[in-house]
Copies of this chain bind each other. A is one copy, B any other.
Amino acid sequence: MPRWESDAQGRLERAALQLFETQGFERTSVAQIADAAGLKERSFYRYFPDKREVLFAGNELEAHLVAQVEAADPDLAPLEVLLTALGTAEEIFRPREFLLRRARVIAASPALAERDLIKLADIADALAPALERRGVERGKARFVIDVVLALHRHALPRWLAEPDTTLAELMAQATAELREVIAPPAPTLRRGGRPLAR
């Protein structure tokens, strides 16, 4: 039999999520997490550089998106490339139940919310060079990415709420909504009521 239980990292992650749920992030010590996983505090830091990272290990989403962008048809416009990449990322957001638990814990702690945001920013940083390699100018690449991430932020909660619609479809809906939002106003008509706004 093995000298150590296997999957130490997974044990730490599961123990941490549960402890954060019941006690909150701030009132859970690293020693407690390590203990619950059958390890010592010092070993925790072999797997995670700091306490927050225990909820953010793995870059599967980033890896998927970058790979999708690199593999995309060179003729596609950047927006479509990114929409397709995110639309095919459904499996990464599973199981939903886990995602929801994790999201609740993150929302309950400012420290974790900060980390969550920078992880998104890291994804944007990784996507930008991939778009540039397709010939998209640097500033524009970052801009399109930010817009698509806003679309995603809009569509994801709906996908979590109604499992029957595909994420790709909800992203397309969000895009249509954006077209309405930024439709040029008809300035001369403004006094007669808001042009396209609801």
Residue A177, interface by CB 8 Å? yes
Nearest residue (CB) in B for A191 is: B75
Interface pair A181/B142, CB less than 8 Å apart: no
Interface pair A75/B190, CB less than 8 Å apart: yes
Interface of A is mostly: helix
Nearest residue (CB) in B for A157 is: B139
Cα A197 to Cα B185 with chains together (Å): 23
Question: 1/0 per residue A107-125: CB within 8 Å of B?
Answer: 0001001110110010000
Chain B residues, CB < 8 A from A158: 139
Chain B residues, CB < 8 A from A147: 147, 150, 178, 181-182
Given contacts A114-B118, A118-B110, contact A77 B197 (CB under 8 A): yes
Interface pair B78/A181, CB less than 8 Å apart: yes
Given contacts A114-B115, A117-B121, 18 further A-B contacts (CB under 8 A): A76-B190, A79-B182, A80-B185, A110-B118, A117-B117, A139-B154, A139-B158, A140-B177, A142-B154, A143-B153, A143-B154, A143-B178, A144-B181, A146-B150, A147-B181, A178-B182, A179-B182, A179-B184
